[in-house]
Amino acid sequence: MILLNPRKLSRDNPDGRALEIMAGTIDFFEKKGKKRLKEDAHQRVWYDDFLKFVKDEKIFATLLTPPKYGSTDSRWDTFRNVDFNEILGFYGLHYWYTWQVTTLGLGPIWMSRNEEAKRRAAQLLKDGAVFAFGLSEREHGADVYSTEMTVTPQPDGSYTANGEKYYIGNGNVAPMVSTFGKMADTGDYVFFVANFAKPNYELLKNVTASQSYVAAFALRDYPISESDILSKGREAWDTALNTVNICKFNLGAASIGISTHAFYEAITHAANRRLYGMYVTDFPHVKQMFTDAYARLVAMKLFTLRAADYMRVASPKDRRYLLYNSVVKMKVTTQGEEVIDLLWNVIAAKGFERDMYFEGAAMDIRALPKLEGTVHVNIALILKFIANYFFNSTEYANVSQRSEPKNDDYLFQQGPAKGMGDIQFHDYNIAYSDWDLPNVNVFREQTAVFSEMLAAAPPDESQRRDTDFLLTVGEIFTLVAYGQLILENARICDVPADVVDQIFDCFVRDLSKFALQLYSKPGCNTEQAAYCLKMIRKPAVDDDRYERVWRDYVYALKGAYEMTP
């Protein structure tokens, strides 16, 4: 219905070049075959074949170059980039990773006012280069306040850079590493580009034991010219945050791709395996786990696609995407973990076998919630929006599916990364009132209780300092926003009511779980505890709906896709 099946590319896209790229990428991996894909992963083979394919077909150049600097078909178009993210995740996280860190590395370049650097980047993309984002450091992670990379002005007007960066994907091959540091004389932030091939660029090691190269590198009196400086001061700071805000979105689609491939493999295996005189898929608990996994996977994709629409309409007056992006990063990726866990509980030991796609998926899916900020970092960001979301909504023009072929200019012209607490949202009740389904209605009642608690018994001063307490509040808020966009997109994508109600069967249970967790917190006061108990609800049971979803959508995927051997 909505899940990617490489045998049946069906998503509407008016861009012929995009369809050519997606089909060609699928063809590359299918010709490579599952056996070779797995062997390369186990032997940690650097993916030269993939990078050659990207170069020959000018894929990154087409998908990541603004029109001013590229060809007729080139632009940064979130609609088609979502599809490419998902396809790469579907076949292997490491292929996706080299794309992801390239997008991050390009962010500070396209956001800069350095035209020479932009032209250089565009030519390198045409030449098949990949890029890197030198932000994090070993001792500080992505804490940009504490960066120890320093840039020192020289008497002749040039600069030298000194310091180390850690966990930098593509740091072994990127001719432009967008590197974050501070000016030694003023303490101002600065972004500049470094080249892995220069003598004073010291590649220390690959910090992970994987097919990707995640570099630790050092700059030792590395010479920099003015043409290498991308931004300084507040502009550099904003660039760092805005780049992460844009590119963290990619993690959700990768998680969807991984989970989808694993689902096909698991359902086909289980449906053809007999235990104790019956097929594994005849066991009631197995049916429930597969149905939950399917519902959660469809929800992941509906939300991510809808969040892309809000990215594409973003403007100085509409920055709603900053909430939805954070939800993609935090919620979609953790739901991917839950989908894999449900499937793994069915296929059990089979999930460890080295020739199964699942073996790699079970490990790779864990990485995504931990890249570009951990879950708790993203929930802390999400909480900035909670007051306006529930109590200060405003009207916006309706946002349709944004599939038009255009460059997403605003993403690279955002300006100051501040004022998130001032961002307003449209009324979430509009989406919920548009569906009259049993579990949507139960969930809406739970949401109303949560909103009432926030108004009548909001977190007090001590609770606002209690990160553990606030994280659970954030989980409930996230679930409300998650459900809202899923309902909006279910209308756009014409998702059957049975599937929507099954999705919210999961969400009713999820909200009840978080309400119980909040109730159990030591800091939860008596009034809040009473509201928490009101939020604990049982989903509306409908055996006929459940059986229809199982038969028509879940079990129907048995044998729907298997990768070329």
Q: What is the DSSP string of 158-211?
A: -EEEEEEEEEEETTTT-S-EEEEEEETTT--EEEEEE-TTSTTEEEEEE-SSSS
Q: How confident is the model at residue 14 (pLDDT cuts 50, 70, 90)?
A: low
Provide the terminal-to-terminal Cα distance of the chain, rounded to the nearest Å. Answer: 25
Q: How confident is the model at residue 143 (pLDDT cuts 50, 70, 90)?
A: confident
In the structure encoding, which two tokens stand for residue 433, read together?
A: 């009132």
Cα–Cα distance, 328 to 113 (Å, whole number): 30
- How many CB atoms are closer than 10 A to CB 446? 24
Q: Residue 521: pLDDT above 90?
A: yes
Q: Which CATH number fits domain 132-232: 1.10.1740.10, 3.40.50.300, 2.40.110.10, 1.20.1260.10?
A: 2.40.110.10
Alpha carbon 62 to its chain's center: 21
List Cα–Cα distances, 514 to 179, 330, 385, in angstroms: 40, 15, 19
Note the pLDDT of residue 539.
98
**What secondary structure letter does DSSP report for 66?**
-
CATH architecture for the domain at 248-393+419-556: Up-down Bundle (1.20)
- Mean of the per-residue pLDDT values of the chain: 95
Residue 54: in which H helix or E strand, if any?
helix 48-57
Cα–Cα distance, 96 to 29 (Å, whole number): 12
Does residue 271 contact residue 281 with C-beta atoms inside 8 Å?
A: yes
Note the pLDDT of residue 170.
97
Cα–Cα distance, 90 to 81 (Å, whole number): 14
pLDDT tens-place string over residues 307-343: 999 999 999 999 999 999 999 999 999 999 999 999 9
* Cα angle for residues 14, 18, 19 (degrees, 5° grid): 80
Does residue 141 contact residue 174 with C-beta atoms inside 8 Å?
A: no
- With tokens 């960001």, the residue in question is 381
Please state the pTM of the whole predicted model: 0.96
Q: Residue 374: pLDDT above 80?
A: no
pLDDT average, residue stretch 30-52: 97
Q: How confident is the model at residue 273 (pLDDT cuts 50, 70, 90)?
A: very high
In the structure encoding, which two tokens stand for residue 320, read together?
A: 């709603």
Cα–Cα distance, 377 to 24 (Å, whole number): 37
pLDDT tens-place string over residues 277-293: 999 999 999 999 999 99
pLDDT tens-place string over residues 169-206: 999 999 999 999 999 999 999 999 999 999 999 999 99
| Spans of all domains in the chain | 16-126, 132-232, 248-393+419-556
* Cα angle for residues 17, 18, 21 (degrees, 5° grid): 90
Bridge partners of 29, per DSSP, are none
**What secondary structure letter does DSSP report for 318?**
B
pLDDT tens-place string over residues 411-429: 999 988 888 899 999 999 9
For residue 370, give the 3-state DSSP assignment. Answer: helix
Cα–Cα distance, 539 to 508 (Å, whole number): 6
Bridge partners of 165, per DSSP, are 217
- How many CB atoms are closer than 10 A to CB 465? 11
Question: CA neighbours within 13 Å on the CB side: how many for 144?
Answer: 23
pLDDT tens-place string over residues 456-476: 999 999 999 998 999 999 999
CATH class of 16-126: mainly alpha
- With tokens 């967008």, the residue in question is 178
Note the pLDDT of residue 142.
78
pLDDT average, residue stretch 472-496: 97
- With tokens 């396209």, the residue in question is 110
Note the pLDDT of residue 13.
64
For residue 151, give the 3-state DSSP assignment. Answer: strand
In the structure encoding, which two tokens stand for residue 545, read together?
A: 């709906």
What is the share, in percent, of the chain residues with pLDDT greater than 90?
A: 91
- With tokens 């209308």, the residue in question is 491
In the structure encoding, which two tokens stand for residue 513, read together?
A: 């779980």
For residue 460, give the 3-state DSSP assignment. Answer: coil
pLDDT average, residue stretch 106-120: 98
Lowest mean pLDDT among 3-12, 26-35, 251-260, 544-553: 3-12
Q: Residue 294: pLDDT above 80?
A: yes
In the structure encoding, which two tokens stand for residue 20, read together?
A: 């050519």
**What secondary structure letter does DSSP report for 219?**
E
Note the pLDDT of residue 381.
80
Note the pLDDT of residue 418.
87
State the Cα torsion 65-68-71-76 to the nearest 10°: 30
Note the pLDDT of residue 378.
72
Does residue 248 contact residue 331 with C-beta atoms inside 8 Å?
A: no
Looking at the chain, how many residues does it have? 565
Q: How confident is the model at residue 105 (pLDDT cuts 50, 70, 90)?
A: very high
Q: How confident is the model at residue 10 (pLDDT cuts 50, 70, 90)?
A: confident
Interstrand relation of 229-232 and 214-224 (parallel, antiparallel or unpaired): unpaired
